[in-house]
């Protein structure tokens, strides 16, 4: 990036989505929050927009992203989409509490959507008030940076805005807003809307737009729509593989919460597992366990099937089925590659898949805090080394010894020395993961007007593999009360 910075008033907007016919969206002016004030600001995201983080005025952020004034060049719209929610098609969806303010093109030619979540009512709000509360806004703001720190594709956020205004959720709660930044806000549900409403000309028009903007390399393919679908499926398989490798539970994997870029999108009642429990359900509203941790790979394939159906006017059914058949193999390969890296394996060997599966079985049977296990494993030197540091994770040392014997044998096939392996392992095994109780502590303090922990955690989660002595306790065993935290769709 050059030394020529933009200001909030001189951002380079080019709002391409507003050039669609207006049945793709409707124009809405954000509703101002009462006493809007800045809670937190993300300088790394500011740099993506050519903004100088050192010259941003907090009151300007509160003004523009608390709904007080429109950014010059922005054209706020609520996008229309539909989708399958808990397996059932809902035709009434759309941006119900968020607005796409516009698209900023930076000096590198990168295009970034600015999306204000918590901006008030739209025609898609149904019976809602269009607001986001402080609790859910802090959770999204922090987890988007946590996922980025782990190298998992995700939306990010420029800032978090607070307010004295209150709405009814779990009792009366303070409102807030998050300014979400990502290249793309187009969901699987956008395609479903045009398919199910039989607007197939507009469906193709949307697909052409996505190819031009997001997948230009497929333009010369024999069937560009099929090639784009293949890439969406590939990215999505890779995404859910990384979720499974780090114990991330999305909570609401409806098709309208799936990005065509393969990014983690629309955070709600998410969880990073404290214990490895395949049956864990993050969302207390999900009484059937549809979106349990172990279900995520299959649910994502189900969602990709729903997207494939929407592509039928443009792509042959058998071609789409062939892509879907390849999904499971790709998912397992991507997941195992990340877990192999977490184990410090730099080469591929015939028995690696079995070694990984046996470890996951061990985790599940003993409810291991597996992210802390992996971090501790970084300091295990291998054959002949003391195993005492790993024994606390299991009640049965003999079971762990049996697996470690196999692991020692496998490490012998690696050329890297222990110091090199430890350095590599620490780069993919975080010391800090955003556990629910950490977010809950930040939320409780923020409700009292103290935003120190929100901002402290932002920096920690951006670099989760580093030592952060000031918050060392967050690298330790979660407190007993952490297991009692209840999350719902309002989270």
**pLDDT given at position 490:** 76
Burial class (CB within 10 angstroms; exposed 0-12, middle 13-18, buried 19+) of 455: middle
- Contact yes or no for 459/236 (Cβ under 8 A): no
Task: Summarize pLDDT for 393-422 with one digit per residue, the tens.
Answer: 998 999 999 999 999 999 999 999 999 999
For residue 313, pLDDT over 50 is answered with yes
For residue 319, pLDDT over 80 is answered with yes
d(CA 434, CA 432): 7
Residue given tokens 């003993």 in the structure block: 366
What percent of the chain lies above the pLDDT cut of 70? Answer: 99
For the chain, the straight-line distance linking the first and the last C-alpha, in angstroms and rounded, comes to 37
Task: Summarize pLDDT for 472-489 with one digit per residue, the tens.
Answer: 999 999 999 999 899 988
Task: Summarize pLDDT for 327-382 with one digit per residue, the tens.
Answer: 999 999 999 999 999 999 999 999 999 999 999 999 999 999 999 999 999 999 99
Confidence of residue 142 (pLDDT cuts 50, 70, 90): very high
Residue 288 DSSP code: T
* Interacting residues of 17 by C-beta distance below 8 A, sequence separation 6+: 24, 25, 77, 79, 100, 103
Mean of pLDDT over the chain: 97
- Contact yes or no for 53/47 (Cβ under 8 A): yes
> Each residue of 189-199: b (16+ CB within 10 Å) or e?
bbbbbbbbeee
Confidence of residue 275 (pLDDT cuts 50, 70, 90): very high
Residue 327 DSSP code: H
Question: Two tokens at 121?
Answer: 């009512």
For residue 2, pLDDT over 90 is answered with no
- Contact yes or no for 26/122 (Cβ under 8 A): yes
For residue 491, pLDDT over 90 is answered with no
Alpha carbon of residue 87 to chain centroid: 21
Nearest-10 crossing angle of helices 296-310, 188-196: 40
Residues taking part in catalysis: 256
Question: Count of residues for the chain?
Answer: 491
For residue 1, pLDDT over 50 is answered with no
* Interacting residues of 80 by C-beta distance below 8 A, sequence separation 6+: 23, 24, 25, 26, 94, 95, 124, 190, 193
**pLDDT given at position 395:** 85
For residue 99, pLDDT over 80 is answered with yes
Span 84-90, average pLDDT: 98
Question: Two tokens at 241?
Answer: 């593989």
- Contact yes or no for 33/130 (Cβ under 8 A): no
């Amino acid at each position: 990036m050059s030394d020529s910075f933009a200001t909030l008033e001189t951002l380079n907007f080019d709002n391409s989505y507003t050039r669609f016919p207006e049945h793709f969206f409707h124009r809405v002016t954000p509703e101002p929050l009462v006493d809007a004030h800045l809670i937190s600001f993300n300088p790394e995201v500011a740099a993506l927009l050519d903004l100088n983080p050192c010259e941003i005025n907090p009151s300007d952020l509160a003004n523009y992203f608390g709904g007080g004034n429109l950014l010059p060049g922005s054209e706020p719209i609520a996008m229309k989409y539909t989708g399958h929610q808990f397996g059932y098609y809902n035709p009434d969806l759309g941006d119900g509490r968020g607005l796409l303010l516009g698209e900023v093109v930076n000096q590198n030619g990168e295009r970034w959507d600015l999306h204000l979540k918590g901006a008030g009512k739209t025609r898609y709000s149904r019976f809602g008030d269009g607001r986001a509360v402080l609790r859910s806004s802090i959770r999204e703001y922090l987890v988007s940076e946590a996922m980025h720190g782990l190298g998992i594709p995700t939306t990010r956020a420029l800032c978090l805005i607070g307010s004295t205004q209150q709405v009814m959720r779990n009792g009366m709660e303070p409102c807030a807003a998050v300014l979400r930044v990502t290249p793309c806000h187009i969901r699987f549900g956008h395609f479903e809307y045009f398919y199910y409403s039989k607007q197939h000309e507009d469906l193709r028009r949307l697909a052409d737009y996505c190819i031009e903007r997001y997948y230009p390399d497929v333009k010369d393919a024999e069937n560009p729509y099929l090639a784009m679908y293949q890439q969406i499926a590939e990215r999505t398989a890779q995404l859910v593989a990384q979720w499974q490798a780090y114990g991330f539970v999305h909570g609401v994997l409806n098709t309208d919460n799936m990005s065509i870029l393969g990014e983690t999108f629309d955070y709600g009642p998410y969880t990073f597992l404290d214990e490895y429990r395949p049956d864990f359900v993050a969302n207390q509203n999900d009484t059937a366990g549809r979106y349990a941790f172990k279900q995520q790979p299959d649910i994502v394939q189900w969602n990709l099937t729903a997207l494939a159906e929407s592509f039928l006017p443009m792509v042959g059914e058998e071609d789409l089925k062939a892509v879907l058949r390849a999904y499971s193999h790709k998912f397992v390969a991507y997941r195992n590659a990340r877990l192999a890296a977490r184990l410090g394996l730099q080469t591929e060997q015939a028995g690696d898949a079995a070694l990984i599966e046996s470890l996951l079985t061990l985790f599940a049977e003993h409810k291991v805090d597996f992210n802390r296990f992996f971090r501790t494993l970084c300091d295990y030197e291998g054959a002949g080394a003391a195993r005492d540091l790993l024994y606390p994770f299991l009640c049965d040392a003999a079971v762990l010894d049996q697996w470690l014997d196999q692991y020692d044998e496998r490490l012998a096939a690696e050329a890297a020395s222990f110091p090199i392996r430890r350095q590599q392992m620490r780069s993919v095994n975080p010391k800090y993961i955003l556990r629910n109780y950490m977010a809950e502590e930040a939320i409780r303090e923020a409700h009292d007007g103290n935003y120190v922990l929100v901002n402290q955690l932002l920096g920690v989660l951006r670099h989760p593999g580093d030592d952060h002595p000031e918050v060392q306790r967050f690298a330790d065993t979660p407190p007993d009360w952490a297991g009692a935290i209840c999350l719902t769709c309002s989270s």
